Amino acid sequence: MKVVYKQLMEQHGGSIPFKILGGVGQKKTVKKPRKRRSRPKKRKGVKTKRKGQILNVDKYSPGTIIRKKARLWRLTKSNEWKQIYE
- Distances, alpha carbon 50 to alpha carbons 5, 43, 47, 62, in Å: 80, 16, 9, 27
State whether residue 10 is helix, strand or coil. helix
**Would you tell me how many other CB atoms lie within 10 Å of the CB of residue 55?**
14
End-to-end CA gap in the chain: 104
For the chain, the domains span 55-86
pTM of the model: 0.39
- Up-side HSE of residue 35: CA atoms within 13 Å toward CB? 3
State residue 30's pLDDT score: 86
Q: Between residues 86 and 17, which one has the greater pLDDT?
A: 17
Mean pLDDT over residues 45-52, rounded? 74
* pLDDT recorded at residue 56: 84
The predicted pLDDT at position 25 comes to 56
Where does the pLDDT of residue 74 fall: very low under 50, low under 70, confident under 90, or very high at 90 and above?
very high
